[in-house]
Chains A and B, each alone.
Chain A
Amino acid sequence: MKTKNLILACLALLGLMVAACQKEQPTTPATGYTLDYTVDGAKTTVSVSGDEGMTQLLRQLNTFAREGHRVTVAQSGSSATAVPTKDVVTFSTQNEVEMLAWEAARLKENYQVTITFDSQTGTYTGTAVPLTLEPDQDPVIPTSLVGTEWIEHYEDSFTVLGTYYEFNTDTRLVFETDSTGNRCVHEYPTSTNPYDFDYPDRLPFTYTYDSVLGRCEWYNIPGNNTFVMDYNIELDAFVYISRHNDTSIYFRVK
């Protein structure tokens, strides 16, 4: 009898170990960025750790810009690895809430998700295949996006007319011109407050892409504050959210 109990205990332990091994495959964490930025022409090179560090830096530069200083930012080196390489990922569990959360997260990361449920064992198995986006592809809109009426497009710039944007996770702003394929990226501070998407805080503001200098500018219409960011600060692959004629505005929801 004792032997039988011991065998059962071993089997249970083995089951737990197998379940633990079935957890989602880990992804490569973000490393850091090395950036060159100038304030009124004075150049500084800085290493930023992770997205939070980047956000803080951009906040600081934003403050300089608002005070009337001319600010430029460019990525240097090749240390930026903001997003892990996407692979096919699998996940297995008997917990329906866990499975639902996993599926929702993968869908929002633009995976195609296949779920199978074995009614005999009560086990869910999920397989997520990454979808590759092409620059000329129509966008995927996160379900939290509230309308696109706030984008007004003309020539090589567009104006954001809304008062704020409502997202539920960190958000990164990207814009580009289709003719050159160059992209501008700006990351917004939203990690602590999901609705803290108020930069630039005076709306409306206008974005302009300078194809000669290869950079983007945006400024508040009522004021003279201009913020300039070189296009090569591109850090990421993008999820396209909205497009308008030849110029697209994108938000990446992490």
Chain B
Amino acid sequence: MRRSQIISIAIVLVAIVLAVVFHRPRMLPVSQCSDIYRQYYKTDGIQATFIKDYDLGDSVTVDVTILQATDSTAWNRLLGDFHVMVDSVAIAMKQRSADETWMTTTSLFPKGHVGAPPDTVLTNNDFLMVYYPRKSLYVFDIRQEKQFYTILSYKYKKYKNQ
């Protein structure tokens, strides 16, 4: 093998190693995760995930906490905890059950909700989105107007690509 070939292979290997190092997910300590994540990450029936600076495209990032229920009991608890209105859920589920091609989400600013517990961990900037097919609840930490619209836009792209 020629020396130039060895150098080329070495460069490629170094590039691969660097790519892996710099693109691997960063693991945050629990203390740096959101309050909502810390409240639910040890809860049975709920899989909690916190993603810092999730890339929505167009140079827009947002911190998001994802709570996914693994059973109906946990799901009902989550909807209750975040005061998602039952009527709206009923509408959504009815439409879904009629035809599985339906994909349903509910969005709201939960702080304005009647009955929101005073000790809730939600902040004033939280934007809540419920994704029924996966029994998942997303809490976005909104700091800029652009984030709000980009999240909605991102959701509509997902509708199309489901």
A binding-site residues for B, Cβ under 8 Å: 96, 99-100, 103-104, 107, 110-120, 124-125, 127, 129, 131-134, 137-141, 143-144, 168, 239-240, 242
Contacts and interface: CB of A to CB of B under 8 A. Distances in A.
- Counting chain B residues whose Cβ lies within 8 A of the other chain, the interface size class is 35 or more
A107 B140 CA distance: 14
B51 interface: no
A240 B112 CA distance: 8
Interface centre among B142, B147, B148 (most CB of A within 10 A): B148
A114 B102 contact: no
Given A115-B104, A119-B103, A141 B125 contact: yes
Nearest to B156: A96
Interface centre among B88, B107, B149, B162 (most CB of A within 10 A): B107
A104 B88 CA distance: 17
A116 B85 contact: no
Contacts of A240: 112
Given A134-B114, A140-B111, 19 more contacts: A99-B156, A100-B156, A104-B148, A104-B152, A107-B109, A112-B107, A113-B107, A115-B106, A116-B96, A116-B104, A117-B104, A117-B162, A119-B103, A127-B88, A139-B124, A140-B109, A141-B111, A143-B144, A239-B112
B31 to A, nearest CB: 24
A140 B126 CA distance: 9
B159 A114 contact: no
B113 interface: yes
10 contacts: A96-B160, A103-B152, A107-B107, A112-B88, A114-B88, A116-B103, A118-B101, A131-B85, A143-B125, A239-B112
A106 to B, nearest CB: 9
A166 to B, nearest CB: 10
A124 B108 CA distance: 18
A223 B103 CA distance: 59
A129 B147 CA distance: 23
Contacts of B33: none
A93 B22 CA distance: 43
Interface string B79-115: 0000011011101100110010111111111011110
Contacts of B95: 116, 125
B11 to A, nearest CB: 45
Contact of B85 (A103, A112, A144): A112
A138 B111 contact: yes
Given A96-B160, A110-B112, A112-B88, A143 B147 contact: yes
Given A112-B107, A114-B92, A138-B124, A168 B145 contact: yes
Given A99-B156, A240-B112, A117 B102 contact: yes
Nearest to A168: B145
A119 B37 CA distance: 32
Interface in B112-133: 112-114, 116, 118, 124-125, 127
B88 A124 contact: no
Nearest to A141: B124
A114 B152 CA distance: 12
B70 interface: no
Interface in B39-91: 84-85, 87-89, 91
Contacts of B160: 96
